[in-house]
Amino acid sequence: MKIIITENERKSISSQHEEFDSNILNFLMRRINIEKRKLGDYGDFEPLEVTEYTFDGFPSYGFNTYQSRPYWTKQILELLEEVNLMPENWPGDLKKESQERQKIIKTVRKFIQTILTK
């Protein structure tokens, strides 16, 4: 017996089993700008170095290395909500145990880990 699966069903099945949301990850990776800056020149002391992360077309959603990772996650989630990459019921109807919510959070954390290793 042979089971025929349509292309839409195949995409649906594969996306359900992915650990990360590839659409969100690709959106973020294409738009990130990383800029290193040195702060101050105090003679004999080394200047402080800060790395700034901004997104093309979304200047108000940037963050830097002196801010906390939960703040970074919050900024990215707000950006994704603005560009309508989040599910319609975000965040209200999604419980912490929701697989869809966990997938989005894992994707954002994977993105943060990726940009920190660059």
pLDDT tens-digit readout, 11-53: 655 555 568 888 889 999 999 999 998 887 777 778 888 999 9
**Domain ranges (residues) in the chain:** 17-116
| Three-state DSSP state, 38 | strand
Q: 63 forms bridges with which residues in the sheet?
A: 53
Count CB neighbours of 105 within 10 A: 14
pLDDT tens per residue across span 61-103? 889 988 999 999 989 988 998 888 877 766 665 566 777 888 8
Query: What is the overall mean pLDDT for the chain?
Result: 81
Q: Which residues contact 8 (CB under 8 A, 6 or more apart)?
A: none
Amino acid letter, residue 61: Y
Distant-in-sequence, close-in-space partners of 33: CB < 8 Å, separation ≥ 6: 53, 54, 55, 56
Q: How far apart are CA 8 and CA 54, in angstroms?
A: 35
Distance (Å) of CA 2 to CA 6, 8, 54, 79: 13, 18, 50, 44
